[in-house]
A and B are shown apart, each in its own frame.
Chain A
């Protein structure tokens, strides 16, 4: 089945003209029409635009043009600005917003000849771990539609798992690619901070946000990262460092690779989850890797640290949504103050408002030192812990999430309960490190993921380690029932 082929295989068939991009696109559009209603993975579908992209790719292919992503369909998380296409960020605030430009990531993937199927559903302004805060309704996990797919990139994750697209873009600020990847049984990569441009990525927390990819294998993710990565002069935080050949690095043997097991993550870990990780470690050892224990003593503070830093930055980043130049405006504002407070009060959902207010609080006079400044200091301690660990090991391993997917609605009563879902993923964002989640088994018939985190710019090594695991196992090939 076309939707079970990997990107390399699809590119091969397109190159050999065994299929056309138009046929391939129609295939996915057909699946989306049939299967998406049960999942609600999309906010905007762009079938006409997809056909145009596909026809254009076919013309290039006919002319002899070749490229690893040429003619391949994709989905963009609705947080990336797409010229001429609605970009809502899952919010009423931008429900009527048609972006007048392409994010750099979008432009690069377009230039590589991809076909855009649509914009995926997400937690509002990327704030959430379950895709339940979207103005457009929750996304459902294809493995069990009573369960969440994770968030904030829930739509991209669910669509990739359901084989509605070969791959999807996402963003990860506290785990928003890795966590949903784990809960939906796909591979999710968050690159090093600064590796991929943030220009056009609607900002949530500027020092934490990174664009990344969902795919069904590390090999596929490599092909996509190759196109996304690289310096962008429009982004001051973008790093001008050479981009290695990720695909070429995939096949390297793992002999001598040192993998660190994070001690802090195993204390109190549920037995079956722990079991899956131990199984994974056995496989890594059989591939020649060495496993040792490492300790990151400040890591348990990573969640409270994140929930000071991220809201602080977002409270400022979201001030531009004021009903003046674009976006939602309340009706009949009686004066300027009313325009602001009601446009924002009505345009934003509850979680967004909570985070804006938390952020405003921790930055405010009298609290700045105790919260924001303190959090940024702890952030350095966490980063230093990682650095010390990477002096001893090449990568660290942990579960991606504490539990498998939970019921929709189960954790909405208390924000803090929801926040603790990110306990394993947040550290990498605070330290700017690359991380990947890959499927490693099932608990209660729901997928679980293992997470590998590496030092800055170690994507090649991460993908190599992930790929070798995927050569030795087939968790990543499993499809949810009804979506095979």
Chain B
């Protein structure tokens, strides 16, 4: 309904990639047998106390700097009190009134190329809870506390997004950023990057926000988009049929593609936040901040801007190439091999063939079966006209499946381009001779038949005729006039 406007805010929980937990010296590695990475502090034994991990603080500050936020010189840890079996202390150590990172922002590029600035209200440090497992336990739940105490950075956006697509673009940007900064591995399957979406609708033009519903624990870009779309439709339908939206927490069911109310969190929780007396105020001075600033890599936006300028790429293409640091590095490596003058060629191949192959085989750039040096080798053969672009695609597929370099495959399959004018002319002559009617039609004015002849020559040469030479020679032969 075009008379409705959607308002969306996202809360993203990024697990920080520290070796040990935020308040204890237990390991954070994923996948260990249950409760083998849960020490007395994680288990909330009587008498234990938390001690803060320096690296978690550095990572939070790094994030703050990357989004242009103010890093608080003084921030406070607070207890969020509630009972749940995966929360052993009966409270979560988090930050409430004074978070470590205050207001920042991020620019996001949508699919259509438009650019939007999304505000980030705050980011704060907190600890993750354990896991509840239901399989194999009759009428019971098993609690694994390995994850309890893993550091989280909770990133809260302003309610600046107006569509599911905007929300996904923002989420992807944050995902890219935390991986660039090497503060989070972004592995959504393993739960290192989770998203809650706050969704509300309001009549267009009205300033006041509508009541929002919170959709929890969305762990893929696709689910975020679908869940938000469903929720928007649900809320609009509800209001239009005379109902009111209830402020509540909902879960997304990906099988049924719907959101539903969470039973256990029906009642509003009174978290009784108060400053944690076991932890002193966190003080971060300028020296600390500058030391972290010195470790910032070239950020995605900076890199994309540089690519666009240095390599004359469109903003969109530059953005795609910079979606991951590894992909950008791969691209730059190829460009340095083929020369900046062929950057567009490199960009097309990295965004095209390479990315398709990576997606198809579900591997990341680091595990690519064609290394950047190898792709460079292939592109150089296009540049020096050993093979045409079309043939190169064939070669690439073979490189991917056989793991061999371009030259070896070109040789083995005899795919060298034919660049000998004489040889091409001979084939042209043969084709013309074999197709007198088309020749007559062409000379009578059917220019489109040029393509027919090109196709015939390519077929006869198994696609190896150099296209540029072919075009020139063919035109001369067909027109009977030599073109300069």
Chain A residues at the B interface, C-beta cutoff of 8 Å: 80-81, 87, 89, 94, 97, 99-101, 103, 198-203, 205-207, 233-237, 312-313, 315-316, 318-322, 324-326, 336, 340, 360, 363-365, 368, 372
B89 within 8 A of A: yes
Pair B272/A340 contact, Cβ less than 8 Å: no
Pair A364/B90 contact, Cβ less than 8 Å: no
Contacts of B46 on A, CB cut-off 8 Å? 81, 87, 89, 94, 97, 99, 202-203, 320-321, 326
Pair A199/B90 contact, Cβ less than 8 Å: no
B50 within 8 A of A: yes
With contacts A198-B49, A316-B79 taken as known, whether A207 is within 8 angstroms of B277 at the C-beta atoms is yes
- Contact residue among B43, B49, B279 (Cβ-Cβ distance under 8 Å from A325): B43
Pair B280/A81 contact, Cβ less than 8 Å: no
Looking at A103, A315, A319, which has the most chain B CB atoms within 10 Å of its CB?
Answer: A319
- Contact residue among A236, A326, A336 (Cβ-Cβ distance under 8 Å from B49): A236
User: Which chain A residue has the least Cβ–Cβ distance from B264?
Assistant: A336
With contacts A319-B91, A324-B85 taken as known, whether A312 is within 8 angstroms of B47 at the C-beta atoms is no
Write 20 A-B pairs (CB below 8 A) sorted by A numbering: A81-B46, A81-B47, A94-B46, A97-B46, A99-B46, A199-B48, A200-B48, A201-B47, A205-B277, A234-B51, A236-B50, A236-B278, A237-B277, A315-B81, A319-B83, A322-B83, A324-B85, A326-B45, A326-B46, A372-B274
With contacts A101-B40, A236-B278, A340-B83 taken as known, whether A319 is within 8 angstroms of B51 at the C-beta atoms is no
- A315→B280 CA distance, assembly (Å): 20
B143 within 8 A of A: yes
- A320→B84 CA distance, assembly (Å): 10
Pair B278/A319 contact, Cβ less than 8 Å: no
Main SS of the interface on chain B? loop
Contacts of A312 on B, CB cut-off 8 Å? 274
- A372→B78 CA distance, assembly (Å): 14
Contacts of A340 on B, CB cut-off 8 Å? 83
Chain B residues at the A interface, C-beta cutoff of 8 Å: 40, 43-52, 79, 81, 83, 85, 88-91, 141, 143, 270, 272, 274, 277-280
Pair B280/A199 contact, Cβ less than 8 Å: no
Q: How far is the CB of B378 from chain A (nearest CB, A)?
A: 56
- Contact residue among A87, A103, A320, A365 (Cβ-Cβ distance under 8 Å from B89): A320
Q: Which 9 A-B pairs have the closest CB atoms?
A: A319-B90, A206-B277, A363-B272, A207-B277, A202-B46, A320-B44, A200-B47, A81-B47, A202-B47
Contacts of B91 on A, CB cut-off 8 Å? 316, 319
User: Which chain A residue has the least Cβ–Cβ distance from B79?
Assistant: A316
- A360→B79 CA distance, assembly (Å): 13
With contacts A199-B49, A320-B89, A324-B88 taken as known, whether A236 is within 8 angstroms of B279 at the C-beta atoms is yes
Q: How far is the CB of A101 from chain B (nearest CB, A)?
A: 6
- A372→B91 CA distance, assembly (Å): 18
Q: How far is the CB of B469 from chain A (nearest CB, A)?
A: 76
With contacts A316-B274, A336-B85 taken as known, whether A325 is within 8 angstroms of B44 at the C-beta atoms is yes
- A235→B278 CA distance, assembly (Å): 8
Contacts of A101 on B, CB cut-off 8 Å? 40, 45
Pair A237/B278 contact, Cβ less than 8 Å: yes
- A313→B276 CA distance, assembly (Å): 9
Pair B88/A360 contact, Cβ less than 8 Å: no
- A201→B49 CA distance, assembly (Å): 10
Q: How far is the CB of B293 from chain A (nearest CB, A)?
A: 26
User: Which chain B residue has the least Cβ–Cβ distance from A232?
Assistant: B49
Pair B143/A324 contact, Cβ less than 8 Å: yes
- A203→B276 CA distance, assembly (Å): 13
Contacts of A364 on B, CB cut-off 8 Å? 270, 272
- A205→B50 CA distance, assembly (Å): 15
Contacts of B141 on A, CB cut-off 8 Å? 336
Main SS of the interface on chain A? loop
User: Which chain A residue has the least Cβ–Cβ distance from B48?
Assistant: A199
Contacts of A235 on B, CB cut-off 8 Å? 49, 51
Contacts of A198 on B, CB cut-off 8 Å? 47, 49
Q: How far is the CB of B82 from chain A (nearest CB, A)?
A: 9
Contacts of B51 on A, CB cut-off 8 Å? 233-236
Q: How far is the CB of A344 from chain B (nearest CB, A)?
A: 10
Contacts of A94 on B, CB cut-off 8 Å? 46
Pair A100/B45 contact, Cβ less than 8 Å: yes
Contacts of A201 on B, CB cut-off 8 Å? 47
User: Which chain B residue has the least Cβ–Cβ distance from A359?
Assistant: B272
- A316→B270 CA distance, assembly (Å): 13
Contacts of A319 on B, CB cut-off 8 Å? 81, 83, 89-91
Pair B81/A316 contact, Cβ less than 8 Å: yes
User: Which chain A residue has the least Cβ–Cβ distance from B35?
Assistant: A325
Pair A313/B277 contact, Cβ less than 8 Å: yes
User: Which chain B residue has the least Cβ–Cβ distance from A238?
Assistant: B49
With contacts A322-B90, A325-B88, A360-B272 taken as known, whether A199 is within 8 angstroms of B83 at the C-beta atoms is no
- Contact residue among B47, B50, B278 (Cβ-Cβ distance under 8 Å from A103): B47
Contacts of A336 on B, CB cut-off 8 Å? 85, 141
User: Which chain A residue has the least Cβ–Cβ distance from B46?
Assistant: A202
- A318→B45 CA distance, assembly (Å): 11
- A203→B90 CA distance, assembly (Å): 14
Contacts of A372 on B, CB cut-off 8 Å? 274
Contacts of A89 on B, CB cut-off 8 Å? 46
Contacts of A322 on B, CB cut-off 8 Å? 83, 85, 90
User: Which chain B residue has the least Cβ–Cβ distance from A309?
Assistant: B277
Contacts of B278 on A, CB cut-off 8 Å? 203, 206, 236-237
Q: How far is the CB of B457 from chain A (nearest CB, A)?
A: 77
- A198→B49 CA distance, assembly (Å): 8
- A199→B47 CA distance, assembly (Å): 6
Q: How far is the CB of B145 from chain A (nearest CB, A)?
A: 8
- A320→B90 CA distance, assembly (Å): 5
With contacts A199-B49, A203-B47, A326-B45 taken as known, whether A363 is within 8 angstroms of B280 at the C-beta atoms is no
- A39→B141 CA distance, assembly (Å): 45
User: Which chain B residue has the least Cβ–Cβ distance from A312?
Assistant: B274
User: Which chain A residue has the least Cβ–Cβ distance from B52?
Assistant: A236
User: Which chain B residue has the least Cβ–Cβ distance from A203?
Assistant: B47
Q: How far is the CB of B451 from chain A (nearest CB, A)?
A: 73
| 13 additional contacts (CB under 8 A) given A207-B277, A235-B51, A237-B280 | A80-B47, A81-B45, A99-B47, A101-B45, A198-B49, A316-B274, A318-B90, A320-B88, A321-B46, A324-B85, A336-B85, A336-B141, A364-B272
Q: How far is the CB of A49 from chain B (nearest CB, A)?
A: 19
With contacts A100-B40, A324-B143, A364-B272 taken as known, whether A316 is within 8 angstroms of B90 at the C-beta atoms is yes
